[in-house]
């Protein structure tokens, strides 16, 4: 049977509440697997009595159980689904102290880096053609991004920091901003993007929460520290996910890096922490043309 596309992608972004860490997540899979897997996600959400799973709204046991079921679903389908998460620090040398920094344009650049790398490096590229459904609420000029990814001579391609011969083979046919309730693969992207930014922005408080959950808590001086309901629920999701990664040998660092960061980017879940490539690697500024 012939399909108009061979592969599909879904994406969403997330921002940590303190504004320091931002993230993007891209879910990719074969077109022929998408229908069945989306039906399974619909069933998980329906059984969990969750209409839409969003990391930003995760503050109760019901959503936490649903999140853990979705994570279990991802692990059970590791041969069919891939998730790449890009996290960046707005306090690093690329972003800090940059006057009139254009965060919307920067989001376009980061999407560009994540999509070109995922589609060209982590999937066999010969003959692949892609349909991409980003969350419709994301403030991105999708026409510009489409042009960047398809017109290899576009000026924004100069922002590419690494030569990649497979980039020429990317065949992205359509970008369709979509409703995450109708296309729940976007909800998976939201969940992992949220975990990515939150794991870095909340690591120190997570560590204290973890100690308070253990028998070691009695050996530490009491602090005037409280945890909100949403922090408790999200910390449990992060803790369970971290344990599952270790149990399955996924080699995703957490304590050694103060946030999720993958050792092997070719694994089916890949947390990529963006690090500036040189002193010239700067975020775009408002009023600055693509360069």
Mean pLDDT of 46-57: 96
Residue 10, pLDDT > 80, answer yes
Q: Which residues contact 170 (CB under 8 A, 6 or more apart)?
A: 116, 119, 120, 125, 130, 149, 150
- Contact between residue 198 and residue 234 where contact means Cβ atoms under 8 Å apart: yes
Location of structure tokens 């050996």: 219
Please give the pLDDT value at position 1.
46
What domains can you pick out in the chain, each with its CATH number?
7-273 (3.30.420.10)
pLDDT range class, residue 223, cuts 50, 70, 90: low
Q: From CA 253, how far away is CA 276, in angstroms rounded? A: 20
Q: Chain-wide mean pLDDT for the chain?
A: 85
Residue 217, pLDDT > 60, answer no
18 or 127, which is more confident: 127
Mean pLDDT of 192-212: 94
Mean pLDDT of 178-198: 97
Provide the 3-class DSSP secondary structure of residue 273. strand
Please give the pLDDT value at position 160.
45
pLDDT range class, residue 168, cuts 50, 70, 90: low
Residue 257, pLDDT > 90, answer yes
Q: How many helices (H) and strands (E) does the chain have?
A: 7, 8
282 or 84, which is more confident: 84
CA angle, 269 as apex, 268 and 270 as ends, to 5°?
115
**From 36-45, 60-69, 193-202, 271-280, the region with the lowest mean pLDDT:** 271-280
List b or e across 121-139, with b for residues whose CB sees 16 or more CB atoms inside 10 angstroms: ebbebeebebbbbbbeebe
**From 45-59, 94-108, 153-167, 257-271, the region with the lowest mean pLDDT:** 153-167
């Amino acid at each position: 049977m012939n399909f108009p596309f061979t592969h599909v992608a879904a994406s969403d972004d997330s921002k940590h509440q303190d504004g320091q860490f931002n993230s993007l997540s891209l879910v990719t899979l074969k077109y022929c697997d998408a229908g069945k897997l989306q039906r399974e996600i619909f069933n998980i959400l329906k059984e969990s009595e969750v209409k839409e799973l969003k990391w930003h709204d995760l503050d109760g046991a019901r959503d936490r159980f649903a999140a853990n079921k979705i994570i279990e679903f991802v692990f059970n389908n590791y041969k069919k689904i891939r998730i790449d998460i890009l996290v960046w620090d707005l306090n690093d040398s690329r972003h800090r102290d940059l006057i009139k920094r254009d965060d919307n344009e920067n989001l376009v650049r980061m999407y560009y880096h994540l999509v070109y790398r995922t589609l060209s490096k982590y999937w066999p590229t010969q003959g692949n053609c892609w349909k991409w459904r980003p969350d419709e609420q994301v403030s991105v000029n999708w026409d510009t991004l489409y042009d960047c990814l398809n017109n290899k001579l576009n000026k924004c391609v100069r922002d590419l920091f690494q030569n990649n011969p497979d980039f020429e083979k990317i065949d992205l046919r359509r970008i369709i901003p979509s409703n995450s309730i109708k296309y729940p693969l976007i909800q998976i992207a939201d969940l992992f993007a949220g975990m990515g930014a939150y794991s870095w922005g909340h690591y120190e408080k997570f560590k204290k929460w973890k100690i308070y959950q253990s028998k070691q808590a009695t050996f530490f001086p009491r602090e005037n520290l409280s945890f909100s309901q949403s922090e408790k629920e999200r910390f449990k999701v992060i803790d369970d996910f971290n344990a599952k990664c270790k149990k399955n040998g996924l080699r995703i660092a957490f304590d050694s890096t103060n946030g999720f960061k993958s050792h092997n980017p070719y694994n089916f879940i890949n947390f990529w922490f963006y690090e500036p490539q040189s002193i010239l690697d700067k975020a775009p500024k408002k009023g600055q043309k693509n360069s």
